[in-house]
Amino acid sequence: MSAQAPPGIEAINAYVGRAYLPVDELFEARGLDQQRSGNLMMTAKSINLPCEDPVTNAVNAARPLIDGLPVADRDQIELIVVGTESGLDFGKPISTYVQEYLGLGRRCRSFEVKHACYGGTAALQTAVAIVGTSPVPGARALVIATDAASVAARNTYWEPSQGAGAVAMLVGRDAEVLRIDPGASGYHSFEVMDTLRPRPDLEAGDSDLSLLSYLECLDQSYRAYCARVRSADLVRSFDHLVFHTPFAGMVTGAFRRLRRQHSPASPAEIDADFAVRVASCLTYTQQVGNVYSASLYLALCSLLDGVEVAGPRRIGMFSYGSGCGSEFYSGVVTPAGKARVARQGIAAAIADRHRLSIPEYELLSDLSLDRMSGVRDHGYDVTPYQQVYAHTLAGRGLLVLDRVENFHREYRWS
């Protein structure tokens, strides 16, 4: 590749958790209105075990990418940046643990960024800018969007949508997965208390306000994109569109509204357009749930695994984070990038998850409070859920949380 090629995503992988629960079973167990299950458009949610946290999710997503690099290329990773809304310390970033357990070199920038579900995009765009201005040939960055849901949303309509996992991306100039269009971004942000995590054990917010903020940001960030890219046309400029996906039903309504605002057509035409250009980006989220800062990039993986890419194709990407911030940007995907994603076997990993019973889910949820931030000393004994651990993590060489001693987290390979 030319040294002047714009940077973007060279490789991408998702860790989708090793256990899951069917959403309809959770609706029944909680006594929730089954009609609202149709609005979610979800079939299952991935679940972390109590010995998993944002660090393990991040490392387990990134390790196949790092293992696939020659040693010389690993040394070219000059930046590790983690986007998360599940930080474990007010000072120490998750990226330090990632660097250690992936065995990456010490001549490296390392930091963490936060802006709710926009954090993954904030991390990616920061890495693209740093790599793009580096004079070092072959310089790369490792970007990871990772989160771990708390159990604070029990007995709410948010609980069925909460997933578990992370998406890792290698950023460099051989950007076959996504060549980001330089300067082609529109932003929109303002202060709003739509959803928030004021404490490790508390998630709060206003779901209606969050929906309205999402819709406003989609409209306004796309308008800002059009102001920069004067030739932009919602229908003709993008072969596909990829959305931040808290749940699939939200994207369905958001796309219809965006079309009515910027390229009106009959409901039948809009639905047909959705089926061709958007629906494939929702498949994985429907089976995994909302993975917060990684949501948009799990949707990108879903798109690339789900559609034919016969040649370079331009896609539009919409990222939203509560609080709130948003960005609409574009880039080009390629057949080689689709092949790279296919080699990661994300669909097979989703299919290989262990199905939990409701009692197992309740036990894991109770114990998961001990993995959140603020824990000073704790040993992560898997005995209470030994059978689940045996089915999901034992002997698979995945990173798990072993103990916390004086706030310092220590991990081991399963």
Which domain CATH number covers 224?
3.40.47.10
Distance CA 113, CA 95 (A): 10
Note down the domain range covering 225. 182-334
Asked if 156 and 285 sit in the same domain, the reply is no
Low-confidence winner among 8-12, 33-37, 153-157, 171-175 (lowest mean pLDDT): 153-157
Catalytic residue among 10, 52, 85, 203: 85
Residue 339 is assigned to a structural domain of this protein: no
Cβ atoms 167, 13 nearer than 8 A: yes
Enter the pTM of the model.
0.96
Catalytic residue among 188, 244, 301, 327: 244
Asked if 322 and 377 sit in the same domain, the reply is no
Catalytic residue among 117, 217, 281, 324: 117
Beta strands in 190-278 (DSSP E): 195-199, 202-205, 240-243
pLDDT digits (tens, 9 = 90+) for 249-285: 999 999 999 999 999 999 999 999 999 999 999 999 9
Distance CA 229, CA 184 (A): 6
Mark which of 300, 334, 368 sits at the end of a domain.
334
Mark which of 281, 310, 334 sits at the end of a domain.
334
Residue 35 is assigned to a structural domain of this protein: yes
Asked if 167 and 108 sit in the same domain, the reply is yes
**Number of domains the chain is built from:** 2
Asked if 307 and 384 sit in the same domain, the reply is no
Q: Is 51 a catalytic residue?
A: no
Asked if 306 and 402 sit in the same domain, the reply is no
* Average pLDDT of the chain to the nearest whole number: 95
Check whether the bond before 108 is cis (ω within 30° of 0). Answer: no
Asked if 149 and 269 sit in the same domain, the reply is no
Asked if 263 and 287 sit in the same domain, the reply is yes
Asked if 162 and 291 sit in the same domain, the reply is no
Q: Is 354 a catalytic residue?
A: no
Q: How far is CA 298 from CA 106, 261, 303, in A?
A: 29, 27, 9
Distance CA 50, CA 385 (A): 9
Residue 340 is assigned to a structural domain of this protein: no
- Please list the residues that pair with 112 across neighbouring strands: 82
pLDDT digits (tens, 9 = 90+) for 141-198: 999 999 998 775 777 788 889 999 999 999 999 999 999 999 999 999 999 999 888 8
Asked if 24 and 167 sit in the same domain, the reply is yes
Residue 29 is assigned to a structural domain of this protein: yes
Distance CA 279, CA 307 (A): 10
**Sign of the alpha-carbon dihedral angle for 186, 119, 140, 318:** negative
pLDDT digits (tens, 9 = 90+) for 376-397: 999 999 999 999 999 999 999 9
Q: Is 244 a catalytic residue?
A: yes
Residue 164 is assigned to a structural domain of this protein: yes
pLDDT digits (tens, 9 = 90+) for 201-244: 777 788 889 999 999 999 999 999 999 999 999 999 999 999 99
Distance CA 201, CA 153 (A): 9
Asked if 15 and 158 sit in the same domain, the reply is yes
Distance CA 148, CA 97 (A): 16
Query: What pLDDT shows up at residue 152?
Result: 59
Asked if 188 and 168 sit in the same domain, the reply is no
